[in-house]
Chains A and B, each alone.
Chain A
Amino acid sequence: MDIRSRVLACMQCGKCTGSCPEAGITPFNIRMLMRKRQFKNIIDESLPWYCTSCGACTIRCPRDVKPSEVIIEMRSALVEDGEIPPALQKALENTFVQKNPWGRSRAKRGAWFEKPDIGVPHVSETSSKRLLFTCCIQAYDPRCMVIPQNISKILKMCGIEFGVLGEEEACCGNEIRRIGEVGLFEELQEENKATFEEYGIKEIIALSPHCMNALKKEYGDLGIKIYHYTELIAPIMRDGTILPKTNYNKKIIYHDPCFLGKQNGIFDEPRDILNSIDGLELLEFSRSRENSMCCEGGGGRMFFEVETSYRRNAEVRVSEAKEIGAEIIATSCPFCVMTLEEPAIEKGLEVKEISEILMEVL
């Protein structure tokens, strides 16, 4: 069904607004936007940019309207008119030039594995043709660069062969598509697909749920097995191939990233990894798994600030973690790490990506 027919199918039940992380705290009202779209009413241009692309509305919609996809369509129209927030414009232009939204040098995309203790081969030199897809933020951001470094060390401990593409890897385009830049997404997709084909890639280990989502669901049938790294590590830890050497006597609460959990159904693997560590007490948020509260890092929100000031979901999340008694918030997405960390530090909590906890115990 095309988008127009889907929008007309909306019966205004409000399940979308009921689950939207922006409803009630910002001027963004997804149900009202669908109504205005049905009647072709004018929509304030600032509104579509509030969406975090968490996908809750699309998952809960009983009429398959796919409101989050309608938002992408609205954004695309604004992109075509050049009417987008300047910070997002910069992210898109950076991605066009340097193939990453931060505009960092493409030649330095492999800087994270140039440390002597990492030593990762190019995927062409592997017999498995198993690719570790780094993701832009983890390739460049000093806070997140540790994640691919950790996973590389862990995979080596497990005896799993893998390689990387370094500067030949381009942004997956997950956020670019959600910002509404369809043409740029297609270019990134074509470039990455051609590189995968050139090196005969057979498997892709995605480190970011956002990359996994794009590669798995939005690149078409690549004939490549694509999974998140927790899907690879969890069974290995379950069968005892690698065992934690030390206890981890901490109370940890796990935050489900939207693109890993509600959008791709990966809830148990991260928890299985954490539960395999002795001493670790795993706590749960009141809103977890399918109902996990979005940290507001997706859909391009990582690159710009909306106009309204309000209490951010990350802050709400951290407050709840504190009330429940957690010492550490664990997650498995670099965007969640970045959004949760600042309010967590303010409240005396730590945020750790699962690989950081693993590196402390393995």
Chain B
Amino acid sequence: MKTAGLAPPTPPSMIRWGCGICWGMAGLAVLVALSFWSLDLGLHRLFSGAALERMGRFILELSRPEVSADFLDKLGQAAFETLAMSFVGTLLAAVAGLVLAFLASDGPDSRPTILALSRLLLNLLRSVPDLMWAALLIISSGLGPMAGTLALALHTAGVLGRLFADASENAADHERACLRLAGASPIQCFLYVTLPSIIPQLLSYTLYRWENNIRAASVLGVVGAGGLGQMLSYHMGLFQMSETSSILITMILLVVLVDSVSYVTRRNLMR
């Protein structure tokens, strides 16, 4: 005979209607299903005999990289150009980002209009991808690595400016208030109090973006902005697969090189 005290507790309901994250997940599942359905990818064609054969031939052609001294010389120049683009682009972006961050960080001295305007500018710079900036700049400056460099600089300035502004807002403003009371100007406060305290963070963000930019710089050439990408789209357009293969290998090496340099530097910074 059961008593009320021994009755097992009713299990919780299977469905919790208030579970926002479950709805989010269900929404995502629907989105995925709709995407595959609407794109009509025909991925089965990828595994058909003809496609497999094409892929096999493609890989075979790629497995014989071009290593003649002439070509390697050109490749080295293009790789240096790519490296230089990412370096200069990131440097310019860091400077511009710092200026914008000073204007866009919310503090006791900031004016609402300047704050809103500089944030709008940061959002504008950030939401247009670097490749599109490059395509736009090429119209004004002609083909070449400078358009690519400036494109990287513009997009990265948006990203870094936002991160820098967040960092300087989060920095303790205790000392800054003291300096302000002692009569220092906002710029002096930023330069002598906020900046020194956030410099390791800024450097680390900048290095991280440099890693991103070396990847970006190597593809900007596809729209005609110089570097390895331009070489790649040229040789690929002519179906010269052994050259293409060498360029791809160079890209991988460059990315791995920059990644490891930046990784080591960032680890040392954090100590």
The answer to whether A binds B is no
